[in-house]
Structure 1
Amino acid sequence: MRVRNLKLLASTLLLSGMTAPPALAQIQGDLDQTGPVIHETDLMTSWGRAVTAQNAWRSYPRPQMVRSQWLNLNGQWDYAIAKDAAGKPSAAQGKILVPFAVESRLSGVRKPLMPDDRLWYSRSFTVPSDWSGQNVLLHFGAVDYAAEVWVNGALVGSHKGGFTPFKFDVTHYLKPGDNTLEVRVADPTSEGSQARGKQALNPHGIWYTPVSGIWQTVWLEPVPALHIAEVRAVPDIDKGRLDVEVALSGEARDGDAVRLTARAGGKVIATRIVRAGRHAALDIPDAHLWSPDDPYLYDLVAELVTVEPPLGGEDKEAAAQRRKIRFTEKEAQAYAALTPRGGARDTVKSYFAMRKISIGRGPVEGQPAMLLNNKPLFQNGVLDQGWWPDGLLTPPSEEAMRSDIVFLKKAGFNMLRKHIKIEPAQYYADADRLGILIWQDMPMAGREGQFVVGASQSQAVFSSEDMAQQQFELSSMIGHLRAFPSIVTWVVDNEGWGQYDSRTLARFVKGMDPSRLVDADSGWLDVAADSSDLRDIHTYEEVPNRPGRDSARAIAIGEYGGIGLPMREHLWRPGERNWGYQSATDAADYQARYRQKFAEIVRQAKEEGLSAAVYTQTTDVEDEINGLLTYDRAKSKIPAEEFAKLAAPLYAPQKR
């Protein structure tokens, strides 16, 4: 939202009979008010009505690193809410359906969690008997915000960060038969400086209902004591190879090796053995490139195997010789020639795509463009908030989550900007398979006084502790998601919300993942021009503004649109506080306004060298009615086919 247009927006919306979005200062100031207010809406999705304790999020939660054995712990847990000073409650207050946040309807609770409250969870579980002799990992997909975890009364660990997965090895805390799992959660929401996205204690306008506690799958997994912890695969289409790094859970010996196997359509196309803890490269001849029109994926299997160490065996002299060639081509060749002894000790199944995202020559002379696989491709996207009326941050089901991408593809979009939220991992696997590009935002952080505004000339100041936490969560996001080829851009900051030292953060992100683009500042204070791949403006005018030309960066409109059209049977709060950046009176008016905006996007793409545009937004969200779809996903404001017809000129071949 642009500050200089707020009065115009307000007057326009009031004249049209809609409630205007409050001025930015008021929006931000309201975050300090007490709450939260949990609105008990009747609005639900069709998928939400089908949710039960038996079917709630049953799919494998880590699609990029699959093992054959696991145990889902979603379902009914005991819960209680108590003040922090009161300590652990003496008894449960009821049941909560995991993995839905305590404030959500689908949790079965729908109660607020104040900053000085603590949310307690407990349940029992039994480790399957055929896991004997293996270590047991306890995984949490996401818990907002600070979690402490006990098994059988012993503290096994703690974690801060509301959007990324974490795990604990609980092997030594387990006993035969029933085991007790307890979790304590604290969440300051908008009273803290932590990454929280769109959550606010006083939800209204562009700020939504708080999400506290467990909101993604909880699960157990058996593994060997030394096991594969991470698989990182980076394609290089120019060299026709896949660079792979496999990280282990602990110290590897000279006899530990990793065997990598790539397959296309079930046929082995490349295999290699490397010493554990080393980089590997697999040749991928005649690569089948991934794109939104052809989302082709290869299979990749990583196995931890045992080999006879090269250079003479395991005596001291041989070990000394191996130390001399560590991390050299000679070492790589020696291990590549070895044959494993026995079967694999650990096996994970993954996949990859051969695709490249870069900045290069575009169709308009002197204006660089975003390239996919070395060719210009206009990225026609939507701002995708990923909120649901019944599950809040948690989609009601895997099918529901997938349906948004299916709709966007049908409507002619080839990109979405995942807006200051991190989805369950299954979402990104769906994007990989369905074929849609993703700009992934870092969920915003900061208190109200740390929000930079449109007229600001400097960035916010954070404590060293807060910066360290933000950078930990930023690196956790990249580490968690960089295996998914659909993600092509990391967005570090949105509209100055907690913006600090953008240049350093952009360089940090590029250093972690040089294979993708970095958008340092989406909208407003552009202070990292030498570290950002994009010049990205936000424009909610009736006819979108154009970004200024940039000889070094691609230009993009990171947000535009925002046409509001209320559909009375599908509102979060019928008759109250519903607003859009602009107001349409009916579907015909909506389409005319959309056509006017989109025609300017097409013009800028053809004549100005615009590389991407992001329409606000996929769905209505709570009081916002800016969506292409209603909040319950039951209605499209106009048919998907009409959106697709308007988008067609963007994909017509262009001369270079």
Structure 2
Amino acid sequence: MLRPRSTATREKVNLDGVWRFALDGAAGPEPWSGPLATRLEAAVPASYNDLFTDPAIRDHVGRVWYQRTVRVPRGWTNERVLLRVDAATHEGRVYVDGALVAEHVGGYTPFEADVTDHVRAGEEFRLTIGVNNELTNVTIPPGTITVSRSGRREQQYKHDFYNYAGLSRSVWLHCVPAVHVTDVTITTGLDGTTGTVGYAVETNAPAPVRVRALDADGAEVAAAHGTDGVLRIDGATPWRPGAAYLYDLVVEVLDEDGDEDGDGVLDVYREPFGVRTVEVRGTEFLINGEPFYFTGFGKHEDTPVRGKGHDDAYLVHDFQLLEWIGANSFRTSHYPYAEEVLEFADRHGIVVVDETAAVGLNLAVQGGLTGRPHDPTWAPETFGDATRDAHARHLRELIARDKNHPSVVMWCLANEASTAEEGAREYFEPLVGLTRGLDPSRPITFTAWLGATGGNDLVADLFDVVTVNRYYGWYIANGDLETAERYLEDDLRAWIEKFGKPVMMGEYGADTLPGLHSVWDVPWTEEYQRDYFEMNHRVFDRFDAFVGEHVWNFADFATSNGIHRVDGNKKGVFTRDRRPKSAAHALRARWRDLNGRR
């Protein structure tokens, strides 16, 4: 799905702001049929959970309603008018003056509706969006809903971050011409110093198409006609980690005469792109043919008050901290991030591992925590064909949205699924095939949980890169870093020797209370977090096949209630309000030295 852009033939109106807001049941049986009967208002974009002081809102399980009036620009009389929701967590329904115009399941990818027949240029309409936060065994991520003895519905889920919900990203009204571009796919390569730019353009009706590649100064460097082909850019400037260079692909839909002078252009769409290659060769991860070593984090879209609501100020500051600490990459744990984040990474040369929302597909972890037998993870009544179908839909939407971003170098299909359990291969093999068919240009990975090892994992051979999440010295051998070091070295060696693939650390970390200090190896202290990282790094440096380290986590973040979580997960190198802990300075010294030597 193309991101709305303002061009010579397209316009957009941002609908962010303060909307009327109500819980389901508090605004009548059909809240979309008229003005919401409510005094509450909620910010968009933002998760609604932390905006209000009423615990009934924060703990609500089910649908909530947003509403506002929208005026269509009067100049859009002859245009197609589309309404786009960048994200509704986890299910959205959109109504225009009482008419249902769109439904979508999946909390982190966009959806839109053509509302031309429901609105008039220059006039207002009532926009109502219902958002449902419920998670079940056939949603991604999964969850279960129970009813307490007091009769309250409660949401249980399998992931360790708070189930923030609502309209966490922007809502748009935009217009396109009657005949217009509907999709653009760009794939790039390098032939010596020449950049190759494969393109495929889709339109809503047959029409001549012209494409032009413009450099960063706006000069045309290549051009062609047709809906698909390959452009060649002589002396191309590659997109590199830490040295981003972007071109624009200008796609023009022409009238039947195919006018060369600019007259008769029906639609114009511009898509930024970078010329770069990504490849796994042996045990190396290569960008533009050069070995790349990942330094960075698993992150979260998580800030005080806003929850998962996108915020440009935090976006800029977080990337400044990434640069300060020497990080060259991050993983979008555990869901696709806002498109603004990827666009920023494109412009600033930060490498991204792009992950689906498939977190929590693991019932074996419950057995490990409780010591009791667990239900099978891969079964029709738990995570079966219906779950996999939902997972496949998420993959299609993720790749369709993010396929043209040069910053995205790898797809991550799932986080800590139960891949050592019978049925895992049957679940993942079709998804791997789907992903490779949708995008053969990028490597793929998954993250292996502690119960999956080089000796028992059933799916790692299907993937290009082995990514492991390990917490030796925290969940295992807590406070005993000497023993933890031996465990970690044996663990990594087993993966490398078994699969002969690049191996990287997707998560490693230790909860740390800022300001807690000790002269001894005391868990939760800032010194222990620093020493924990140093132990891990000694092990990483012993393996040539090891290609990267992503710390868990960039910053402290909110989690569900639990006796093992006090005010959230404290594994951040930065606090939730982005203040560095002592380990941040140690990481800065290591990563700046690493990136200087590589």
State the TM bucket, normalised to the shorter chain: 0.7 to 0.9
CA spacing shift, 1:450–1:183, aligned 2, 3 Å: farther
The match for 2:197 is: 242
CA spacing shift, 1:381–1:341, aligned 2, 3 Å: closer
In 1, Cα distance between the equivalents of 2:326 and 2:538? 15
The match for 1:347 is: 268
Instruction: Please tell me whether the aligned partners of residues 99 and 214 of structure 1 are also in contact (alpha carbons under 8 angstroms).
Output: yes
CA spacing shift, 1:474–1:450, aligned 2, 3 Å: farther
Instruction: Please tell me whether the aligned partners of residues 562 and 616 of structure 1 are also in contact (alpha carbons under 8 angstroms).
Output: yes
Q: What letter matches 1:444 in structure 2?
A: A
Counterpart check, 1:372 vs 2:303: no
Counterpart check, 1:112 vs 2:58: yes
Residue in structure 1 matching 2:127, options 175, 181, 184: 181
The match for 1:528 is: 459
In 2, Cα distance between the equivalents of 1:369 and 1:232? 27
Instruction: Please tell me whether the aligned partners of residues 538 and 558 of structure 1 are also in contact (alpha carbons under 8 angstroms).
Output: yes
The match for 2:174 is: 221
Q: What letter matches 1:74 in structure 2?
A: D
Q: What letter matches 2:378 in structure 1?
A: A
- The Cα offsets for residues 518-560 of structure 1, whole Å up to 9 and x where unpaired, read as 0045445432344210122222113343243258653323334
CA spacing shift, 1:435–1:134, aligned 2, 3 Å: same
1:60-71 aligned within 5 A: 69-71=11-13
1:304-315 aligned within 5 A: 304-308=253-257
Number of aligned pairs? 536
Identity of aligned residues (%): 22
In 2, Cα distance between the equivalents of 1:518 and 1:453? 29
Counterpart check, 1:414 vs 2:328: yes
The match for 1:360 is: 281
1:84-103 aligned within 5 A: 87-89=29-31, 91-103=37-49
CA spacing shift, 1:497–1:247, aligned 2, 3 Å: farther
Counterpart check, 1:292 vs 2:241: yes
CA spacing shift, 1:402–1:106, aligned 2, 3 Å: farther
In 1, Cα distance between the equivalents of 2:206 and 2:303? 45
Residue in structure 2 matching 1:303, options 252, 267, 276: 252
The match for 2:378 is: 460
Deviates more, 1:639-648 or 1:178-187: 639-648
Q: How far did 1:140 drift?
A: 0.4
SS of aligned partner of 2:542: helix
Instruction: Please tell me whether the aligned partners of residues 361 and 377 of structure 2 are also in contact (alpha carbons under 8 angstroms).
Output: no
The match for 1:481 is: 402
In 2, Cα distance between the equivalents of 1:145 and 1:346? 33
Residue in structure 2 matching 1:549, options 496, 513, 532: 496
Q: How far did 1:107 drift?
A: 11
Instruction: Please tell me whether the aligned partners of residues 556 and 613 of structure 1 are also in contact (alpha carbons under 8 angstroms).
Output: no
In 2, Cα distance between the equivalents of 1:204 and 1:458? 16
Residue in structure 1 matching 2:17, options 75, 86, 100: 75
CA spacing shift, 1:456–1:435, aligned 2, 3 Å: farther
In 1, Cα distance between the equivalents of 2:408 and 2:27? 43
In 2, Cα distance between the equivalents of 1:412 and 1:112? 37
In 2, Cα distance between the equivalents of 1:466 and 1:549? 31
1:565-584 aligned within 5 A: 565-567=512-514, 583-584=523-524
In 1, Cα distance between the equivalents of 2:38 and 2:231? 54
In 2, Cα distance between the equivalents of 1:283 and 1:87? 59
1:333-344 aligned within 5 A: 339=260, 342-344=263-265
- The Cα offsets for residues 552-586 of structure 1, whole Å up to 9 and x where unpaired, read as 653323334312221269xxxxxxxxxxx982424
Q: What letter matches 1:534 in structure 2?
A: V
- The Cα offsets for residues 504-529 of structure 1, whole Å up to 9 and x where unpaired, read as 21121111111111004544543234
Q: What's the C-alpha RMSD, in Å, of the aligned pairs?
A: 3.4
Counterpart check, 1:597 vs 2:550: no
CA spacing shift, 1:71–1:540, aligned 2, 3 Å: same
Q: How far did 1:221 drift?
A: 0.6
The match for 2:151 is: none
The match for 2:571 is: 626
Instruction: Please tell me whether the aligned partners of residues 445 and 470 of structure 1 are also in contact (alpha carbons under 8 angstroms).
Output: no
CA spacing shift, 1:135–1:206, aligned 2, 3 Å: closer
Instruction: Please tell me whether the aligned partners of residues 97 and 106 of structure 1 are also in contact (alpha carbons under 8 angstroms).
Output: no
Q: How far did 1:381 drift?
A: 2.5
The match for 2:205 is: 251
TM normalised by structure 1 equals: 0.74
The match for 2:214 is: 262
TM normalised by structure 2 equals: 0.81
In 2, Cα distance between the equivalents of 1:555 and 1:492? 17
Q: How far did 1:489 drift?
A: 0.8
Q: What letter matches 2:308 in structure 1?
A: L
- The Cα offsets for residues 125-153 of structure 1, whole Å up to 9 and x where unpaired, read as 11111222111110100001222211122
CA spacing shift, 1:357–1:108, aligned 2, 3 Å: farther
- The Cα offsets for residues 14-51 of structure 1, whole Å up to 9 and x where unpaired, read as xxxxxxxxxxxxxxxxxxxxxxxxxxxxxxxxxxxxxx
In 2, Cα distance between the equivalents of 1:65 and 1:374? 35
Instruction: Please tell me whether the aligned partners of residues 95 and 108 of structure 1 are also in contact (alpha carbons under 8 angstroms).
Output: no
Q: How far did 1:301 drift?
A: 1.4
Q: What letter matches 2:508 in structure 1?
A: G
CA spacing shift, 1:195–1:497, aligned 2, 3 Å: farther
SS of aligned partner of 2:270: strand
- The Cα offsets for residues 433-462 of structure 1, whole Å up to 9 and x where unpaired, read as 111111111112567758797799986133
Instruction: Please tell me whether the aligned partners of residues 118 and 186 of structure 1 are also in contact (alpha carbons under 8 angstroms).
Output: yes
Unaligned runs of 5+ in 1: 1-59, 310-337, 362-367, 570-580
Instruction: Please tell me whether the aligned partners of residues 22 and 65 of structure 2 are also in contact (alpha carbons under 8 angstroms).
Output: yes
The match for 2:99 is: 154
Q: How far did 1:165 drift?
A: 0.5
The match for 2:436 is: 510
- The Cα offsets for residues 362-388 of structure 1, whole Å up to 9 and x where unpaired, read as xxxxxx211111111211231112222
Instruction: Please tell me whether the aligned partners of residues 22 and 38 of structure 2 are also in contact (alpha carbons under 8 angstroms).
Output: yes
Q: How far did 1:213 drift?
A: 2.4
Q: How far did 1:307 drift?
A: 4.0
The match for 2:224 is: 272
CA spacing shift, 1:349–1:110, aligned 2, 3 Å: farther
Q: How far did 1:170 drift?
A: 0.3
Q: How far did 1:260 drift?
A: 2.8
Q: Relative CO higher for 1 or 2, CA cutoff 8 Å, sep ≥ 6?
A: 1
Instruction: Please tell me whether the aligned partners of residues 64 and 350 of structure 1 are also in contact (alpha carbons under 8 angstroms).
Output: no
Instruction: Please tell me whether the aligned partners of residues 489 and 518 of structure 1 are also in contact (alpha carbons under 8 angstroms).
Output: yes
Instruction: Please tell me whether the aligned partners of residues 138 and 167 of structure 1 are also in contact (alpha carbons under 8 angstroms).
Output: yes
CA spacing shift, 1:121–1:475, aligned 2, 3 Å: same
Q: How far did 1:113 drift?
A: 5.8
Counterpart check, 1:539 vs 2:470: yes
Q: How far did 1:193 drift?
A: 3.1
- The Cα offsets for residues 96-143 of structure 1, whole Å up to 9 and x where unpaired, read as 11121221338999823644x321222111111122211111010000
- The Cα offsets for residues 471-512 of structure 1, whole Å up to 9 and x where unpaired, read as 111110111111111111111121116966222211211111
Instruction: Please tell me whether the aligned partners of residues 91 and 132 of structure 2 are also in contact (alpha carbons under 8 angstroms).
Output: yes
CA spacing shift, 1:110–1:482, aligned 2, 3 Å: farther
- The Cα offsets for residues 145-167 of structure 1, whole Å up to 9 and x where unpaired, read as 22221112222121111110011
CA spacing shift, 1:341–1:357, aligned 2, 3 Å: closer
In 2, Cα distance between the equivalents of 1:244 and 1:582? 56
In 2, Cα distance between the equivalents of 1:66 and 1:406? 33
CA spacing shift, 1:496–1:463, aligned 2, 3 Å: closer
Instruction: Please tell me whether the aligned partners of residues 418 and 439 of structure 1 are also in contact (alpha carbons under 8 angstroms).
Output: yes
CA spacing shift, 1:497–1:98, aligned 2, 3 Å: farther
CA spacing shift, 1:98–1:281, aligned 2, 3 Å: same
Q: How far did 1:595 drift?
A: 2.5
SS of aligned partner of 1:97: strand
In 1, Cα distance between the equivalents of 2:254 and 2:199? 16
